Structure 1
Amino acid sequence: MKEKKSAIDKNSVIPLYFQVKEYLRNEIATGHYIPEQLIPSERELAEEFEINRLTVRQAINELVQEGLLYRQRGVGTFVSQPKIEQPLTSLTSFSKDMENRGIVPGALVVSMKVIPATKQVASRLQMEADEEVLELVRVRTADGEPMALERSYLRYDQVKPLYGMDMENVSLYQKLEEVCGIRLVKAIQTIEVASVYPDEAGILEIGPHEPAMLIERITYTEGADKPLEFVRSLYRGDRYKFKIEMNL
């Protein structure tokens, strides 16, 4: 393997920190550094590149911000697990999406109860605020690792058979079809950056200031003009990304 110092050109117009950053990115992409592996320290890299330690730090900082690396206080810097990519071109359940990737999906039930719809939920479902909804709160996992905290609200009068059922490690959409004869065919979804509360961070096994994505989705059944479901989910920003394909 060639020496690290030969991987950068000190006479190039390309900033040194950027060259170091791309070198590390390539080492990750080619498998020289694998997920959860501890990379060399800033001091070790600076010595091998024969450059300033602050230059190395800037390169590592940017890769941490991009999610390719993460720091563990008192230990060092590690390669992050690759993000799970979900296309936004079709309506699929979390379970089906994970299975298509060869990942074992999971769902841990936090709570299931029938409640009066809040103003926000009633607005999304186009119903009165005092009407009943089934609230299902679950932690969605991939190969046992928490990925999202999901809060689903469904019109209770249409999904009564689901209440009290075991919803651990099953697809809600599959149960809707099998138990209630309901098939969801259309959804409107929004995505925005969000912060998480300490209790949510604990459930997702992330720090309280780590990035997260707030996903809100309203889903419709075939032929219905009013939605059946409103979902509000917090996805880990370090483990998940969404893909949109656009054609001109």
Structure 2
Amino acid sequence: MIDKNSPLPLYYQLEEHIKQTIESEELMPGDSLPSERELSESYQISRMTVRQAITNLVNKGYLFREKGKGTFVSNQKFEQNLQGLTSFTEDMKARKLVPGNKLLHFEIFPADQDIKERLDLGEEELIYKIKRLRLANEEPIALETSYLPVKLIPGLTPEILEESLYTYIEDELHLNIGHATQTVEAALVNDEDIKHLKIKKGVPVLLIQRETFLENGTPLELVRSSYRADKYKFKIDIERK
């Protein structure tokens, strides 16, 4: 398990071993890790080496410390690849998680000037305002507010929103979703985030803002989402051109 003749540093070997036990679910979220002294004695390595391995895993989000109590396994973050345009429902299903929605607000009203310009709408055109709590395995992950033109999606109902909106748009309305522009930034939680995402005041969230377009360039939606930074991370593969 720990090979002292290996060129790999001992702390790295221990780090990889603990990480493997977490990823294979031998250790589950909330399980406590043996103390530094116990790990040091078990693997016949120094406590400083053990401490470095644990610190690295804390920094990577695999473990967390509680003062006076010990070190515990963290809930793992859900990872989304930013190189494809997918709905939240599609993304969760691809990870073999059960997606869920809790509809918090559904309203039809005339768009204000900013939304009219961004969605390329005429005077007095109507939009849907949809606010949903997005869940994975019944755990709150994101608070999402969407604005969509009524003229593009006539007849949208709260019942339809229980499933994937993108699937409805493409399969039922036969509209082809083309691309989106998206920004990701850190933000502090507001009162609504605290209430619905079950997080504490002062905790950061990932603020995601997206504009989605049909294949013909028609603006389809504006979305603002607050993602729990302790539960979600984004990944992108970058090639040097």
Is TM (by shorter chain) over 0.5? yes
For 1:229, the equivalent position in structure 2 comes to 221
SS class of match (1:214): strand
The CA distance in 2 between the partners of 1:123 and 1:76, in whole Å, is: 54
For 1:11, the equivalent position in structure 2 comes to none
Q: How does 1:156-235 map to 2 (within 5 A)?
A: 156-162=150-156, 164-167=157-160, 169-224=162-217, 226-235=218-227
For 2:102, the equivalent position in structure 1 comes to 108
Query: Alpha carbon RMSD of aligned pairs, Å?
Result: 3.5
Worse overlay, 95-104 or 172-181: 172-181
Q: How does 1:126-137 map to 2 (within 5 A)?
A: 126-127=120-121, 131-137=125-131
The CA distance in 2 between the partners of 1:82 and 1:144, in whole Å, is: 15
The CA distance in 2 between the partners of 1:43 and 1:124, in whole Å, is: 59
SS class of match (2:238): coil
The CA distance in 2 between the partners of 1:128 and 1:61, in whole Å, is: 56
Tell me if structure 2 keeps the 8 A contact 1:182–1:221.
yes
Worse overlay, 200-209 or 91-100: 200-209
State, as a whole percentage, how many aligned pairs show the same letter: 38
What is the TM-score of this pair, normalised by structure 1?
0.75
SS class of match (1:177): helix
Residue segments in structure 1 that go unaligned for 5+ positions in a row: 8-13
Distance 1:40 1:208, change over 3 A: farther
Distance 1:119 1:66, change over 3 A: farther
Number of positions where the alignment pairs a residue of Structure 1 with one of Structure 2: 234
Distance 1:196 1:128, change over 3 A: farther
Distance 1:184 1:203, change over 3 A: same
How far residue 22 of structure 1 moved from its aligned partner, in angstroms, is: 7.5
Residue segments in structure 2 that go unaligned for 5+ positions in a row: none
Map Cα deviations across residues 191-227 of structure 1 (whole Å, 9 max, x no partner): 1112111331231122223332111111111213x31
How far residue 135 of structure 1 moved from its aligned partner, in angstroms, is: 0.7
SS class of match (2:185): strand
Letter in 1 for 2:146: S
For 1:10, the equivalent position in structure 2 comes to none
Distance 1:111 1:61, change over 3 A: farther
The CA distance in 1 between the partners of 2:160 and 2:200, in whole Å, is: 28
